Structure 1
Amino acid sequence: MDSLCEVLEAAKIPYWRDRKDLGPGDAWRAKIREAIRSGSLVFLACFSDNSRAKGKSYMNEELTLAVEEFRQMPPGRTWIIPTRFDGGDLPYWDLGAGRSLDDYNYVDLFGKAHAAEAAKLVTTIHGLMGDRQMSPAAALEAVEQATTGNRVELLKQLTKDMLVDPAKRIQLDDLVSQEVQRILKVINDDERVAGPVSGNGEERIVKYATAAQEMWDLVKPFCASLQVAARYGTPDVLAPWVTGIRSLVQAAMKTRSGDSGLLDLGALPGMISLMTAGLAGVSARRYDNVKALVADPMVRSKYDSKPLPVLVAVDPFSPFDNQEWTANALARGAIEDRPFAEALADMTENRVGKYRTPVGEWLHFALRPIFADQWPDEDAFASEFDRAEVFLGILGQDAVNARAAANPEARGWGRSHWFGRSTWRAGHGHGNAVEDVQHELATEGELWGPLRDNLFGGEASRAKTAADGYQENFDRMAGRFAL
């Protein structure tokens, strides 16, 4: 109860609580009745095992008075909100007109969803407060101030709740934009990249790995929201996430002075956002969303007067340019939940080997929790991750092909660089995701889902050219990892 009151105070919601507002000598029944009947906007009926265990309590008296008030209100009025502090059942309570307490949606202020549920409660109450309504972004900040809630779960739950409600679309856009601005502020921070990074070689590697992990922690809430949008949204509502991805990729392309390793890590938010959107959309077979989020967005390049597709502007290797040891320390430390220094020492002292595809291994591990609700099975997630990885690679190859055709004299547009974990798995007998995609295309032809959603310009021949070109390099890399 104290935690709930802290949330209400952080959200600037005035509340009445008997422990706080009853003074010595007060006639408590009269005071409670006055509080309930003096224009209260909502009554939070809170339950826990402690309250259920009591045969008699003042709370029952309070709830009885609240029910009497509620019965006089117009049908459909939101006023009593059941609030649970644990997983126990709500008690049966007759509200009149055939209604009971357990007929109403309740708020769960416990467990993993505690903070997200608190944010929903805050926005609901502020909705009842009319012109004083708090935006979801402000609600998120208020709940975060008052709880130890996970921002990832908060943003993911708010996106789920608001994406399907057209009336909340503007507020959701503001929420996503706020998150993007948080990330951009760090990417654009000159002090962050000033360098030089001190220490010997291994100490610098550990510092780069730590900086990469901090960058991922920063962008993780946006990716959690993006996963929901790519899975459940439609292209016409994806603008804030499209703008966010484009902004993150563009920010990493700016010419700046500073430590090269830290500058390269500025590409991590855009890269992992593209992987998140691709994995969510491809695994849900929402190719229309993949097109909007991944294939269509363009950015400006300092080396080219024409806009550059985001899949060409950034790839899994961009944040770790010539930093294979950093990628390995990051991957092994994260996967084994060990300090990066210890993980690195095990590899440099040959106690364990390096990963053959460290960035892909890290991406697979980092994104796994965000997709746990979509793919709870480990093997299914691994297969979908492979498929998404190669699908982005094929789309990247298509973008390269299109640029080469438009400017045949230019060099350096030979192949996509979206390779990773799936190459190693193909070389070790875990299936070949490229061949699976090619088989789908050959079997379904013009009816293939990506073509029907106008990827590859809706042309089967263009898709085949991209897939064949990507496969050539994919098989070469997989062959290096073969048993």
Structure 2
Amino acid sequence: MSPDQEKHVFISYVHEDSTEVDKLCKVLEASKIPYWRDRKSLGPGDAWKAKIREAIRGGSMVFLACFSDRSRAKEKSHMNEELTLAVDEFRKMPPGRTWLIPVRFDGGDVPEWDLGAGRVLGDLNYSDLFGEGYAPEAASLVTTIHNLMGDKQLGPVATLNAVEQAAAADRVELMRRLTKEMLLDPTRRIELDDLVSHEVQRILKVLNDADWATRPIGVNIEEQATRIVTEAQILIQITLPFSASLQVAARWGAPETLAPWANGLRSFVQSATRQKSGTVGLLNLRHLPGVVSVMTAALASVASGRWENLKELVAESSVIDSYSPRPLALLEAVDPYKPFGGDELTSNAVARAAQSDAQPAEVVSDLIQNRTQKFYTPIAELLHTVLRPLFEGEMPDTATYDLEFDRAEVILGVLAQDAVNMRKAVDGSTWGRSHWFGRSTWRMAASRNNPVANLQHDLSQRGAAWGPLRGDLFGGDSERASAAVEEYSALFSEIARHRSW
């Protein structure tokens, strides 16, 4: 690339940082950002100093100065010459112009190069391309560069994919950040809808794969369980970026803006109910994205008192079920027991693996050999573990998270019981009950904190002013809510009594 042919980003670095710069260049390439780098842009026999001077002064729209402990340790380097030229150019620019951008590859300080007018290099906004924040920082850098180069800003999906090229993408933090940036901006509603839809399609591609559940999974119980656990881990990992976005939307969005997440959640559950051939253990796993997403929506909505959002995302949603003559409430179509169909080995193995660094085969073997204790409620333990990082910002202490998780569990349980009651009233059937029971059933015995009793107390004390009723859950009907709470409470107490033995 010739510096006099097109605008470009100039990358200044020491050669000891080539690996990190390679990663940065992949991001720029995927984002269609031209760049100038000595190894790529200097030809044989070039007068390198003249070429670099031309690249910096001629067509450089952005100068990235990359720092690490390796660069800081060098007393002399070609990078220092490049940076001297860059500082000279920067001093000629009007105040407030963004052109010189420091990039850190580690947590060390940006060197205090004198920029004139009492400023030093460390006073400029810099980009941190290391650690868990790599993806969102890279996305922000790409957006900044596109704006500086006068190009139309990349769409969020394109930005997400560009960063993935370099970051083996932990999409979770990036999805959370992009959702926060766009959620409350009406002018970016279409962009956000596209972003969420893109994540939904990534998950549905796996759920709807015709061959996924038909492939051989092993010749014995241990091999089969290991394969199921491995596939469960994959499904959870591809669901978490959507859940990160959902968490933000459920907490901060308005009901009328939640359609992309509500539609996605419903599509996960709908996909899992379709009849397909294959191994039962794998087919059951199709319920995992729905369960993870429902619990995310409930936990975010309940903890922030956004009852109207819980109604929009979960309580009022339904799917078409082949065994039902009419649409089935979402909370009847999916519950924590469906992803593993009651299989204790695989459900416990996934939960144990989530709480440790152990490989699936190791955890499965430990359970078969009785070297590891089983959980009372393995799926609830799994959800509690994998969702914890999504809520560390609003619930930094474990005790608060545990209590809010209990509340979310029982709210889902009561809403599921209400859905059953409404169905019975319509079709005259007598079968069915809520299946949303989890950690709170055994924690009650250990802590003496009964979240269902707390729910009953709040309802009796506040009546029509009770939060869920003000959010129009249970149709805003206090008698309907009381009936659901009482029936769920009886089931909850019975299950908790058995688990306290």
Taking structure 2 as the reference length, what is the TM-score of the superposition? 0.86
1:192 aligns with 2:242: no
Task: Give 1:283 shift.
Answer: 1.5
Q: Distance in 2 between matches of 1:163 and 1:95?
A: 38
2:90 aligns with one of 67, 80, 105: 67
Q: Aligned partner of 1:150: which letter?
A: D
Alignment of 1:365-444 (within 5 A): 365-407=385-427, 409-412=428-431, 414-444=432-462
Q: Is the 8 A contact 2:90 2:99 kept in 1?
A: no
1:26 aligns with 2:47: yes
Equivalent position of 1:159 in the other structure: 179
Equivalent position of 2:465 in the other structure: 447
Task: Give 1:150 shift.
Answer: 1.8
Residue by residue over 1:303-361, the C-alpha shift from the partner in whole angstroms, topping out at 9 and shown as x without a partner, is: 23432221111111111114222212222233243233443343344444422211111
Equivalent position of 1:264 in the other structure: 284
Measured on the aligned residues, the alpha-carbon RMSD in Å equals: 2.7
Task: Give 1:189 shift.
Answer: 0.9
Equivalent position of 1:344 in the other structure: 364
Structure 2 counterpart SS, 1:206: helix
Q: Distance in 1 between matches of 2:192 and 2:378?
A: 35
Equivalent position of 1:83 in the other structure: 103
Q: Aligned partner of 2:492: which letter?
A: F
1:466 aligns with one of 478, 484, 493: 484
Q: Is the 8 A contact 1:152 1:224 kept in 2?
A: yes
1:308 aligns with 2:331: no
Task: Give 1:380 shift.
Answer: 1.8
Structure 2 counterpart SS, 1:337: coil
Task: Give 1:418 shift.
Answer: 0.8
Q: Is the 8 A contact 1:120 1:158 kept in 2?
A: no
Q: Distance in 1 between matches of 2:399 and 2:298?
A: 18
User: Given the superposition, is the C-alpha separation of residues 5 and 469 from structure 1 closer, same or farther in structure 2, using an over 3 Å criterion?
Assistant: same
Q: Is the 8 A contact 1:428 1:481 kept in 2?
A: no
Q: Distance in 1 between matches of 2:46 and 2:218?
A: 67
Q: Distance in 2 between matches of 1:104 and 1:169?
A: 31
Q: Aligned partner of 2:104: which letter?
A: R
Task: Give 1:37 shift.
Answer: 4.9
Equivalent position of 2:81 in the other structure: 58
Deviates more, 1:355-364 or 1:47-56: 47-56
Q: Distance in 2 between matches of 1:106 and 1:201?
A: 53
Structure 2 counterpart SS, 1:319: coil
Q: Distance in 2 between matches of 1:345 and 1:134?
A: 47
Residue by residue over 1:23-67, the C-alpha shift from the partner in whole angstroms, topping out at 9 and shown as x without a partner, is: 655373x65554345454433344444555667721432332341
Alignment of 1:224-303 (within 5 A): 224-303=244-323
Task: Give 1:395 shift.
Answer: 1.4
Task: Give 1:13 shift.
Answer: 0.8
Q: Distance in 2 between matches of 1:50 and 1:165?
A: 42
Unpaired segments of 5 or more residues in structure 1?
Answer: none
Structure 1 counterpart SS, 2:320: strand
Deviates more, 1:192-201 or 1:99-108: 99-108
Q: How many residue pairs end up in the alignment?
A: 477
Q: Distance in 1 between matches of 2:166 and 2:484?
A: 51
User: Given the superposition, is the C-alpha separation of residues 131 and 309 from structure 1 closer, same or farther in structure 2, using an over 3 Å criterion?
Assistant: farther
Q: Aligned partner of 2:175: which letter?
A: L
User: Given the superposition, is the C-alpha separation of residues 62 and 280 from structure 1 closer, same or farther in structure 2, using an over 3 Å criterion?
Assistant: farther
Q: Is the 8 A contact 1:45 1:63 kept in 2?
A: no
Q: Distance in 2 between matches of 1:39 and 1:87?
A: 31
Alignment of 1:98-247 (within 5 A): 105-129=125-149, 133-195=153-215, 197-247=217-267
User: Given the superposition, is the C-alpha separation of residues 258 and 18 from structure 1 closer, same or farther in structure 2, using an over 3 Å criterion?
Assistant: closer
Q: Aligned partner of 1:2: which letter?
A: D
Deviates more, 1:211-220 or 1:245-254: 211-220
Task: Give 1:181 shift.
Answer: 0.7
Residue by residue over 1:390-411, the C-alpha shift from the partner in whole angstroms, topping out at 9 and shown as x without a partner, is: 111111112222222222x234
Q: Aligned partner of 1:63: which letter?
A: A
Taking structure 1 as the reference length, what is the TM-score of the superposition? 0.89
Structure 2 counterpart SS, 1:81: strand
Structure 1 counterpart SS, 2:395: coil
Unpaired segments of 5 or more residues in structure 2?
Answer: 1-20
Q: Aligned partner of 1:270: which letter?
A: G
Residue by residue over 1:402-433, the C-alpha shift from the partner in whole angstroms, topping out at 9 and shown as x without a partner, is: 222222x2343x32111111111113235111
Q: Distance in 2 between matches of 1:421 and 1:4?
A: 44
Alignment of 1:33-52 (within 5 A): 34-38=54-58, 40-49=60-69, 51=71
Equivalent position of 2:17 in the other structure: none
Q: Is the 8 A contact 2:115 2:121 kept in 1?
A: yes
Q: Distance in 1 between matches of 2:138 and 2:128?
A: 8
User: Given the superposition, is the C-alpha separation of residues 454 and 85 from structure 1 closer, same or farther in structure 2, using an over 3 Å criterion?
Assistant: same
Q: Is the 8 A contact 1:427 1:480 kept in 2?
A: no
User: Given the superposition, is the C-alpha separation of residues 69 and 235 from structure 1 closer, same or farther in structure 2, using an over 3 Å criterion?
Assistant: farther
Deviates more, 1:414-423 or 1:444-453: 444-453
Q: Distance in 2 between matches of 1:8 and 1:463?
A: 55
2:345 aligns with one of 308, 325, 331: 325
User: Given the superposition, is the C-alpha separation of residues 10 and 196 from structure 1 closer, same or farther in structure 2, using an over 3 Å criterion?
Assistant: closer
Alignment of 1:8-19 (within 5 A): 8-18=28-38
